[in-house]
Chains A and B, each alone.
Chain A
Amino acid sequence: MSAVETLVDLLAGRRPAADLAPREWDGVIGVARAEVLLGTLAHRVEDGEVPGPVAWLFADCRAAAAVATKQALWEAEMARRALAPHGVEFVLLKGTAYAAAGLACAAGRQIGDLDILVPWHDLGRAENALLVAGWEWVKEDAYDDAYYRRHMHELPPLIHKARDRMIDVHHTILPRTHRVTPDALALVSDAVRTAGGFAVLCPTDMACHCAAHLIADGDLQGGLRNLWDFHALTGEFAALDRGFWGKLDERAEMHGLERAVHRAARLARDLYGTRLPSGWNSHPPGDGRYQRRLLARDDWGRATDPLLQQAFYIRSHWLRMPPTMLARHLWTKWRKG
């Protein structure tokens, strides 16, 4: 069994961690790092089940993830302090939203940039308020600037000059040129408040966005990690609301994302054991291709599918290492692709 399959089995709880031979952990840890799932794995297995050095490494990962989560939530707080005086409300997206809402998938999960959603008509004011509060354009590049505004679903990326953290301001969850056009107004108007006072997408929209990010928006971006988010999110929501899957179906249809959501659900079922209601339980042959691409890593953590190799760039950009210029440069490089 390959390391990536072992990782998936461990996350799914199909295989006890105590079953692994000590050296099997090399590949599992390498693959988990490459998929940005090591912190998640560190929260999924019990320390007593694994060899000492693995338990220590996992403790390090949990501690580092706790620090990183606080940093990410602080960026959300600073965005609030910058935008609230101008009357701009925003909805947190992705990792920061999961952490702010205290969702299970946030445990150990790395968070990249701060992603926020603002209504289309507030975009100009949000931009000005952020520039006043110390964010600046990652690059002055008129072509890219126009490109972003016209074709992407976000402002060109901004970085805070003192904290060196990136913010992506979205006005919808898929590029405007994408053939699917989710209902951005509904995303904002149906957002819900967390205990800490932040707005996040409602559960069905959160699952839709997660699936869109995985399947519709690029080529299996974030791969196994995004799929894990989908598995954990839907599991948690369905446990709280018996009607969740039915509502998700309706919502996905409204956004034009039913194919992406159903595919994500089937892949999550096949890899992580997500329990789906009967109407969702088909087995179309096209899923195999997706599954193979999700599992395309060797025991040294290398992507064996060339299209997935850009994931390296995403991961490196998450590092945020002290030579802060590094992060800046990587970002620019990755964007230029």
Chain B
Amino acid sequence: MRHRTRIEVGPVQFRIGSDWAAPIAALDRLYAGYPRDRDRPADATVRLFAARPWRRWLRPSVHIGGDYIVPDALPLPLSMGLLAAEMGMNLQVALGWRRHLLFHASAVAKDGRAVIVSGESGSGKSTLAALLGEGGWRLMGDEFTLVDPGSGDALAFPRAVSLKNEAIAEVAARVGPERLGPLLAGTPKGDIRHLIPRADAIAAMHEPVRPALLLFPRFGGAPAIERLGEGEAFVRLTEASTNYVTLGEAGFAALSRFVRETPAFTISYPDSARGMAIVEQLWAEAVR
């Protein structure tokens, strides 16, 4: 393809091609601080393309493709090319990654122990991870967390954090503008702005971490903590995993072990400050 780049996030090497220069330039800026190995073959291919040649210029709309595609996914306007790239990268990992058990979850780590936060968008998992990552925690990722079936360790996937709506101002107040991507206003997912993880989080992205705690957050309502049984955590994680079935017995063994060894809780919290306090409290109890 005409414009291209390569990005390494955690264990995944992406090859990204585009019919336009702008999305690639935006990616290169967001991922400038990530390690680059130009000789490493790609694990996943993302394509951003115009459905018809003239649509490169005339009302340009970006279709998302690659190794895996969702045929009826709507294209995005070129101004949201960065979001299209992010969606394309997520899609390839969610559908294509087989080496580790993949959870739709954010994660942060401290002292070699990880807190894994699983939830739908709107649960606040991304915001919690971003804010903790600006404090005393290492950000492992805001979208996917990988578990190695052999060791049971959690592996990071620290892509640029996708901040949405209110979270944008909350995080922007704490970081310099050089850590933020352009504001993408009025996308199908609301306003979006990307946060570049801290340099130490990127430098540590290949270091595995022992899971200490599994949380299922719910944003809104009075603070509440409820312990989850192993069986229910198992069920919820099968739903949060995009590749559990394809891993066969290795996935089953990894997941059984994970829910036995990792205490799990549902938490409710009215604001980020109290959400973070709950995470700190549960983590302190879990690693004691």
**Across the interface, do A29 and B42 meet the contact criterion of CB distance under 8 Å?**
yes
Number of interface residues of B (CB under 8 A): 32
**Across the interface, do B99 and A333 meet the contact criterion of CB distance under 8 Å?**
no
CB-contacts of A1-52 with B (<8 A): 22-23, 25-26, 29-30, 33-34, 51
Task: Type the 1/0 row for B32-50, where 1 means its CB is closer than 8 Å to any CB of A.
Answer: 0000001111110101000
The reply to whether the CB of B246 lies closer than 8 angstroms to some CB of chain A is yes
The reply to whether the CB of A68 lies closer than 8 angstroms to some CB of chain B is yes
**Across the interface, do A26 and B45 meet the contact criterion of CB distance under 8 Å?**
yes
**Across the interface, do A312 and B67 meet the contact criterion of CB distance under 8 Å?**
no
| Known interface pairs A63-B250, A70-B248, A316-B70; A300-B1 also in contact (CB < 8 Å) | yes
The reply to whether the CB of B245 lies closer than 8 angstroms to some CB of chain A is yes
Interface 9-residue window, one of A54-62, A121-129, A198-206, A243-251: A54-62
| Known interface pairs A53-B13, A300-B17, A313-B71; A63-B248 also in contact (CB < 8 Å) | yes
**Across the interface, do B98 and A302 meet the contact criterion of CB distance under 8 Å?**
no
Task: Type the 1/0 row for A303-335, where 1 means its CB is closer than 8 Å to any CB of B.
Answer: 000000000110010011110001001100100
Assembly CA distance A196 to B244 (angstroms): 28
How many whole Å from A18's CB to the nearest CB in chain B?
14
How many whole Å from B177's CB to the nearest CB in chain A?
34
In the complex, which residues of chain B have a beta carbon less than 8 angstroms from the beta carbon of A132? none
In the complex, which residues of chain A have a beta carbon less than 8 angstroms from the beta carbon of B40? 22, 51, 53
Assembly CA distance A115 to B241 (angstroms): 29
The reply to whether the CB of B242 lies closer than 8 angstroms to some CB of chain A is yes
**Across the interface, do A66 and B45 meet the contact criterion of CB distance under 8 Å?**
no
Interface size for chain A: under 10, 10 to 19, 20 to 34, or 35 or more residues?
Answer: 35 or more
Main secondary structure of the interface of B (DSSP, over half): loop
The reply to whether the CB of B95 lies closer than 8 angstroms to some CB of chain A is yes
**Across the interface, do B41 and A321 meet the contact criterion of CB distance under 8 Å?**
no
**Across the interface, do A302 and B47 meet the contact criterion of CB distance under 8 Å?**
yes
In the complex, which residues of chain B have a beta carbon less than 8 angstroms from the beta carbon of A70? 248
The reply to whether the CB of A64 lies closer than 8 angstroms to some CB of chain B is yes
How many whole Å from B179's CB to the nearest CB in chain A?
29
**Across the interface, do A23 and B71 meet the contact criterion of CB distance under 8 Å?**
no
Assembly CA distance A60 to B146 (angstroms): 15
**Across the interface, do A26 and B68 meet the contact criterion of CB distance under 8 Å?**
no
**Across the interface, do A26 and B248 meet the contact criterion of CB distance under 8 Å?**
no
- Chain A: CB-nearest residue to B249: A67
The reply to whether the CB of A95 lies closer than 8 angstroms to some CB of chain B is no
In the complex, which residues of chain A have a beta carbon less than 8 angstroms from the beta carbon of B242? 321-322
The reply to whether the CB of B69 lies closer than 8 angstroms to some CB of chain A is yes
The reply to whether the CB of A175 lies closer than 8 angstroms to some CB of chain B is no
CB within 8 A of B98: which of A53, A63, A320, A321? A63
How many whole Å from B142's CB to the nearest CB in chain A?
20
Interfacial residues, chain A to chain B (CB-CB below 8 A): 22-23, 25-26, 29-30, 33-34, 51, 53-54, 56-57, 60-61, 63-64, 66-68, 70, 300-302, 312-313, 316, 319-322, 326, 329-330, 333
* Apart from A25-B42, A54-B41, 8 more pairs, CB < 8 Å: A26-B15, A29-B45, A33-B45, A61-B98, A63-B98, A67-B247, A316-B68, A316-B71
Q: Which 5 A-B pairs give the minimum distances between C-beta atoms?
A: A67-B248, A25-B41, A60-B98, A22-B39, A64-B98
30 A-B contacts (beta carbon < 8 Å): A22-B39, A22-B40, A22-B41, A23-B39, A23-B41, A25-B42, A26-B41, A29-B45, A30-B45, A30-B67, A57-B41, A60-B98, A60-B99, A61-B98, A63-B247, A64-B246, A66-B248, A67-B248, A70-B248, A300-B1, A302-B65, A312-B71, A316-B69, A316-B70, A319-B68, A321-B95, A321-B242, A322-B239, A326-B70, A330-B71
